[in-house]
Chains A and B, each alone.
Chain A
Amino acid sequence: MKKLIYLITLSFIITSCGSTKGLYSWDKYEQASYNYLKKADEKSTEKIIEQYKKVLNKQKGTRKMAPPGMYADYGYFLIQRGNLKEGKANLMKEIVLYPESKIFIDRILKLIEE
Chain B
Amino acid sequence: MKNSIYLLLVTTLILSSCGSTNKVLKSSAYSGMYKEKPLSLLIMPPINRSTNVEAKEFFHTTLNVPIANAGYYVIPPFLSMEILKRESAYDAEMFIDRPLNVFAEIFGADMALFTIITKWDKSSLASKVIVEVEYIIKSTTSGEVLYNRKGTVTYNTSVSAGNSALLSILASVANTAATKYVDVARAANNYTFSDLPAGMYGPQYGLDGGNTAGFKVFKVRLPK
Residues of A within 8 A of B (CB): 4, 7-8, 11-12, 15-17, 19, 22-24, 26, 28-31, 33-38, 62-63, 67-70, 72-73, 76-77, 94, 98, 100-104, 107-108
Q: Is B107 an interface residue (CB 8 A)?
A: yes
Q: Is B173 an interface residue (CB 8 A)?
A: yes
Within B167-184, the residues touching A (CB, 8 Å) are: 173, 178-179, 182
- Residues from chain B with Cβ under 8 Å of A11 in the complex: 9, 12-13, 16
Q: Assess A30 versus B57: contact at CB under 8 Å? Given A15-B16, A23-B71.
A: no
Give CA–CA (A107, B73) in the complex, Å: 18
Q: A29-B65, A68-B68 are in contact. List 12 more A-B contacts (CB 8 A).
A: A15-B16, A16-B17, A16-B18, A22-B69, A23-B68, A30-B62, A36-B78, A68-B75, A68-B76, A69-B73, A76-B82, A104-B107
Q: Assess A72 versus B76: contact at CB under 8 Å? Given A22-B69, A31-B182.
A: yes
Q: Assess A68 versus B13: contact at CB under 8 Å? Given A23-B202, A34-B61, A104-B80.
A: no
Interchain nearest-CB distance for B158 vs A (Å): 19
| In-complex Cβ contact of A100 among B8, B61, B73, B186 (8 A) | B73
Residues of B within 8 A of A (CB): 5, 8-9, 12-13, 16-18, 39-40, 54, 57-58, 60-62, 64-65, 68-69, 71-80, 82-83, 105-108, 164, 166, 173, 178-179, 182, 186, 201-203
Residue pair B18, A17 in contact (C-beta under 8 Å) = yes
> Considering only CB atoms, which chain A residue lies closest to B62 in the complex?
A30
Main secondary structure of the interface of B (DSSP, over half): helix
- Residues from chain A with Cβ under 8 Å of B178 in the complex: 34-35, 38
> Considering only CB atoms, which chain B residue lies closest to A108 in the complex?
B79
Main secondary structure of the interface of A (DSSP, over half): helix
| In-complex Cβ contact of B182 among A24, A34, A68 (8 A) | A34
Q: Assess A76 versus B78: contact at CB under 8 Å? Given A8-B9, A12-B16, A68-B73.
A: yes
Interchain nearest-CB distance for A19 vs B (Å): 8
